[in-house]
Structure 1
């Protein structure tokens, strides 16, 4: 979820889509590749809506919003109105998500969403049949669940979780390819294929581009 203070405009690129101007309160759907945001004015407020929050907040299927940015009204988020500063926008965003623990508490998919999320973070299961078996469902049911709440099929979600975990270690290692071998990558080419798939470029170019977009003070703090 993205909330813009008055005086801020935001355009974005999500895979093959360019959004010239997004609404004051918008939702960036699940992305198959790293999105790029161009902000003009005070910084927007960004709040992550994970799959569990999605299942409780809306009945809209996540896969219908893949690589899209839509007005928050589609998910009944509301309108920030004339909120002028970051503090007011942050309060608005907080009020939107603070009720998630009571919204649709008995949503039927909550348990499976929690378990699958934890499973992908463990990184010890690589195939859909095994994942479905551990969850006590068939592969078709698991696919339907992940498309609805995560926006992607289970295999892609597991591959992406592995890549993101490996990417963090790769960055901390000083971009050494041997650092990702423990994540199931056979060689640098294998890792670079996933990097292109999820980042749209090589890891080095992505990090250089990311650093170039950040304020100098932020770069100084995070590199220290």
Structure 2
């Protein structure tokens, strides 16, 4: 990582971690012409607030965002995000699907693969207050306590389907659940209701979410080539390497090797730091409640489901 670039993660408190997956600070000093080029993996939504003149240009699957307000929401993503980071700082706030249901009235699928002003979703008063709070702090000190308090005041009442959403988070990231039929059986939901919940609160169909998780686990294993060189660590749910490569083109727009060769200092620094602080190297694999082993194992071996 360049010496003039800082990436730091902080965990949300237990009282808010069901809704907020964590916080990160990016501070860039001297930057090359055009800014630090970098990438984000497909994953869950996040709030971003720019500070000290820091800005960025973002390319998603749908749009190229050049001029944005200081506080934005990047929706759930099904494709890698390319960004260019200017000198200055920014704070990122990860949002779980349950957090989305508590913070915003709009369906997650309506903001998927898009970036929108935070004020349009949370309200101008909350957005302005968040910016003012972050403007007032020294980013060299922990920011989690202040942000925890802010979101404790912004979180709305529980969704009636919150228990199902917690279970769906567990299903989506559990490597034992490799197909939509198993997911339906574990959740004991009719297909139409499962699709509706998934699109409303996660942004995409359950089938795409399962594919995304499988790909992220496999890609991270490939990138960690000191432990598992080549493609030895990809998911056993892939029929072969070419199947994994096809998913790589679908989610990254390139092969895993091409992605690995890109210059991406924030991404590279964040892999180990996020895993160490928040428990998962990718936001799209962030756990809330692990699924119990016995019911899922029984389903995968053909036993009667619970």
* Contact 2:59-2:65 at 8 Å conserved across structures: yes
1:96 Cα shift?
4.0
Higher relative CO (Cα under 8 Å, sequence separation at least 6) belongs to 2
* Contact 1:42-1:86 at 8 Å conserved across structures: no
Alignment RMSD: 2.6
* Contact 2:238-2:244 at 8 Å conserved across structures: yes
Q: Using a 3 Å threshold, how does the CA distance of structure 1 residues 65 and 218 change in structure 2: closer, same or farther?
A: closer
Deviations along 1:189-219, whole A, 9 cap, x unmatched? 111011111111111221222xx2317x959
| Mapping for residues 43-192 of structure 1, pairs under 5 Å | 43-76=89-122, 77-79=126-128, 80-81=131-132, 83=135, 87=139, 90=143, 93-99=147-153, 103-104=156-157, 106-173=158-225, 175-180=229-234, 182-192=235-245
1:158 Cα shift?
0.5
Superposition TM-score, scaled by structure 2 size: 0.63
Superposition TM-score, scaled by structure 1 size: 0.85
Report how many aligned residue pairs link the two structures: 215
SS in 2 for 1:173: coil
Q: Using a 3 Å threshold, how does the CA distance of structure 1 residues 135 and 185 change in structure 2: closer, same or farther?
A: same
Q: Distance in 2 between matches of 1:48 and 1:75?
A: 15
Deviations along 1:148-180, whole A, 9 cap, x unmatched? 011000000011111111111122235512321
* Contact 2:78-2:212 at 8 Å conserved across structures: no
Q: Using a 3 Å threshold, how does the CA distance of structure 1 residues 94 and 138 change in structure 2: closer, same or farther?
A: same
* Structure 2: unaligned runs, 5 residues or longer: 1-46, 274-306
SS in 2 for 1:124: coil
Which of 250, 256, 259 pairs up with 1:206?
259
Point out the structure with the larger helix share: 1
* Contact 2:48-2:90 at 8 Å conserved across structures: yes
* Contact 1:5-1:85 at 8 Å conserved across structures: no
* Contact 1:129-1:138 at 8 Å conserved across structures: no
Q: Distance in 2 between matches of 1:208 and 1:98?
A: 41
SS in 1 for 2:51: coil
* Structure 1: unaligned runs, 5 residues or longer: none
Q: Using a 3 Å threshold, how does the CA distance of structure 1 residues 138 and 148 change in structure 2: closer, same or farther?
A: same
1:99 Cα shift?
4.2
Deviations along 1:48-92, whole A, 9 cap, x unmatched? 111111011111100000111000012214121492666399577
